[in-house]
A and B are shown apart, each in its own frame.
Chain A
Amino acid sequence: MKTWNNKAWFFVLPVLLLVAFSAIIPLMTVVNYSVQDSFGNNEFYWVGLEWFQEVLASERFHNSLMRNLLFSAIILLIEIPLGIAVALAMPRRGWGVSVCLVLMALPLLIPWNVVGTIWQVFARVDIGLLGHTLTALGVDYNYTQDTFDAWVTLILMDVWHWTSLVVLLCYSGLVSIPDAYYQAARIDGASRWAVFRHIQLPKMRRVLVIAVLLRFMDSFMIYTEPFVVTGGGPGNATTFLSIDLVQMAIGQFDLGPAAAMSLIYFLIILVISWVFYTVMTHQDSESVTDNRQGGGQS
């Protein structure tokens, strides 16, 4: 029997209002814009799915999307293995633990636009430590003019900024493994690789799902740092979806197409996240059904 207590609504109400104002109402506004055209003067005309068709067919959108997908793929391919490797190398006990944790947390505490500014200065050819050193060493490096250099800079910056999040998540998974697992592995004569493959990786899987999802979503929505460092350039070389969207909405004030694009953008993130989640937790659900069958048998 459940007891219904209507007073509970008073406690939930503030949160509901907050969510309504911060998420639901703006989202509905965007939906509203996406199916209308406006000619200033607050006059709106119904255009149906025209904006969606236009955005989906536009080369500009395709290019930004491809750049974004490539960027996220590179970020995940670097940050996840690197994060795991660093977490494995971190000490498990002693004074080194807190030192490492503080060092790892530092980049995460820096505001995004500050990270952008730091790297913008760091990579400058004339005064930046990185840019100047590279140039002095004879490397042809200039992130404001060369597409490849701009990408390398942005990727380095993101790796520097966010790998420690993956490290911290993986580390939390690693320290939760009881010593007995390592002892049993020694008794069974398991190699270092086998310990990683059969003990550490499975125990980290849950946190890795979170890490992959967070890093995918964040890198796919990246805005502040490239905006500060490259401003989307050189040319459109680092114009990601978010930068494109802001240009369209605020630069050109094309509210209809911008609204349609943001909805498509949102759906893409949702779908890809869902795919990641489903694939990575597939094994879990498999063994859950296994359990039920086993329970029935025994």
Chain B
Amino acid sequence: MAKITLNNIAHSYDGGANYALKPLSHAWHDGGAYALLGPSGCGKTTLLNVISGLLQPSEGQLFFDDVDVSALPTERRNIAQVFQFPVLYDTMTVAENLAFPLRNRRGTDKLAAADIQQRVQQAITLLGLEVLANRKARGLSADDKQKISLGRGLVRTDVNAILFDEPLTVIDPHLKWQLRTQLKQIHRQFGHTMIYVTHDQTEALTFADKVVVMLAGEVVQMGTPQELFDAPRHTFVGRFIGSPGMNILPCELQGAEAIIDGYAVALAREYPALAGVIELGIRPEFVRLAGTGGDTGAQSGEGLPVQIVGVEDVGRHRIARARLHSHTLDIIVPEHQPIPAQPRVVFDQSRICIYQNSQLVSWEDD
């Protein structure tokens, strides 16, 4: 296990015309569980392949602890990687598959057959694959195959990190949860550094201690799931995280008020005059539906008048889609609250985020 440090790592697939990964300096702490989250093509797999050495970055250095591994080939980096589609050696049994990375060692690293046997047995027990141990790998279910792919990393005691490249893509939904839980357990038990690439926020937020959100080859925010939810540093993070994502509304600032389409929204504090595109972000969870008509008991005149254009019942609550002049707005409505006839929306003052040119205007600035 090791701390992994990126020093100005950047990569371009076309010789510098476009950067799939823009210069990035970052340290992954020993034993951390990280998720790289972002839409397809944002550079997360590129970053992962740079760490494992499958890809030689165009620029920058990579350190495992204090050793520069930039020039080391993949097999010398002691990295385990689980791919999107399970990769198994079809002609071998499950146990042979697990033994494969150990049997490949030559010279001073060579392991005795008994050691290999013992480690394979441990991995099999750990993953609950006892029944399958002597079966041919071909024709197993996708989740078993993915477990075996993971197992090939776990049999090695010297792995610096385990990398996951969207490993649950081909897994049935009801097994995803189970496999993810198993991953977390393994992480807690062994403390491997784990880096998990995904475009699914649920996977990222449930798996990782720290989530790294990427967009167009850049890291836009890194933080705990709570931080990403409470204070998205970029409007992209706000929209991408959450179900539904954050409402982003263009506005103008006037002291401690934001003006949206002529309606004033009180803010928790005063902002200085800011140049550029100013937007107000509020999560659907913190928008309250008020208004007259129906039995809401709300005062009239409070909040902004909206038109409800649709309501989706997602089970534990409902999502109302509203129009506020030319903007649309998602509101989470508790299951039993009626929708008023003349609806208005009220924003939870303390939860409002203000963005300047898509970047969060933070409180510490002044």
A and B co-occur in one complex: yes
In the complex, what residue of chain A is closest to B132 when comparing beta carbons? A294
- SS of B interface (majority): loop
**Least CB separation from B100: chain A residue:** A188
Q: Are A180 and B75 in contact (CB under 8 A)?
A: no
Rounded to whole angstroms, the CA-CA distance of A183 and B92 in the bound complex is 18
Per-residue interface assignment for chain A, residues 285 to 296, with 1 indicating a CB less than 8 Å from any chain B CB and 0 otherwise = 011101100100
Nearest chain B residue, comparing its CB with the CB of A191: B104
B239 within 8 A of A: no
Given contacts A194-B104, A290-B135, A297-B131, contact A187 B89 (CB under 8 A): no
Contact of B83 among A184, A198, A283 (CB under 8 A): A184
Shortest CB-to-CB span from A121 to chain B, Å, is 46
Do A181 and B87 contact each other (CB < 8 Å), given the known contacts A187-B75, A187-B80, A188-B100?
yes
Contacts A183-B83, A187-B75, A297-B131 hold; do A287 and B101 have CB atoms under 8 A apart?
no
- A288 and B139 contacting across the interface, CB-CB below 8 Å: yes
B140 at the interface (CB under 8 A from A): yes
A:83-106 near B, CB below 8 Å: none
CB distance from A197 to the nearest CB of B (A): 8
Q: Could you tell me if A198 and B89 are in contact, using CB atoms closer than 8 angstroms?
A: yes
Instruction: With CB as the reference atom, state the residue of chain A lying closest to B81.
Output: A187
The main secondary structure of chain A at its interface with chain B is: helix
A187 touches B84 (CB 8 A): no
The distance in angstroms between the C-alpha atoms of A202 and B90, with both chains bound, is 7
A5 at the interface (CB under 8 A from B): no
A111 sits at the interface (CB 8 A): no
Complex: A199 Cα to B137 Cα, angstroms = 13
Contact A189 B105 (CB under 8 A): yes
Interface check A178, CB cutoff 8 A: yes
Q: How far is the CA of A142 from the CA of B354 in the complex (A)?
A: 92
Are B91 and A190 touching (Cβ within 8 A)?
no
Most A C-beta atoms less than 10 A away, residue of B54, B89, B140, B141: B89
Q: Is B317 an interface residue when CB atoms closer than 8 A count as contact?
A: no
Q: Which residues of A contact B74 (CB under 8 A)?
A: 183, 186-187
From 186 to 219 in chain A, residues with beta carbon under 8 angstroms from any chain B beta carbon are: 186-191, 194, 198-199, 202-203
Residue B229 CB within 8 A of the other chain = no
- Cβ of A298 under 8 Å from chain B: yes
**When A186-B75, A187-B75, A188-B100 are in contact, do A287 and B87 touch as well, CB less than 8 Å?**
no
Q: Is the CB of A190 within 8 A of B80?
A: no
Whether B52 contacts A283 by the Cβ 8 Å rule is no
Indicate if the CB atoms of A202 and B81 lie closer than 8 Å. Answer: no
Complex contacts, B139 vs chain A, CB 8 Å: 287-288, 290-291, 294
With A180-B87, A186-B75, A187-B52 in contact, is A294–B140 under 8 Å at CB? yes
B24 within 8 A of A: no
CB of B188 within 8 A of chain A? no
Name the residue of chain A whose CB is nearest to the CB of B82: A184
Complex interface residues of chain A between 268 and 292 (CB less than 8 A to chain B) = 283, 286-288, 290-291
* A residues in contact with B271, CB < 8 Å: none
Taking beta carbons and an 8 Å cutoff, which residues of B are in contact with A? 49, 52-54, 73-75, 79-81, 83-85, 87, 89-92, 100-101, 104-105, 131-132, 135-136, 138-141, 149, 152
18 A-B pairs, CB-CB below 8 angstroms? A180-B84, A183-B52, A183-B74, A183-B83, A186-B54, A186-B73, A187-B74, A187-B75, A187-B80, A187-B101, A188-B75, A188-B152, A189-B105, A198-B89, A202-B91, A287-B138, A287-B139, A290-B138
Listed from nearest, the 3 A-B pairs whose CB atoms lie closest are A189-B75, A184-B87, A188-B101
Q: A183-B81, A294-B140 are in contact. List 10 more A-B contacts (CB 8 A).
A: A180-B83, A183-B74, A183-B87, A186-B54, A187-B52, A187-B74, A187-B75, A188-B75, A287-B138, A290-B136
Residues of A near any B CB (own CB < 8 A):
178, 180-181, 183-184, 186-191, 194, 198-199, 202-203, 283, 286-288, 290-291, 294, 297-298
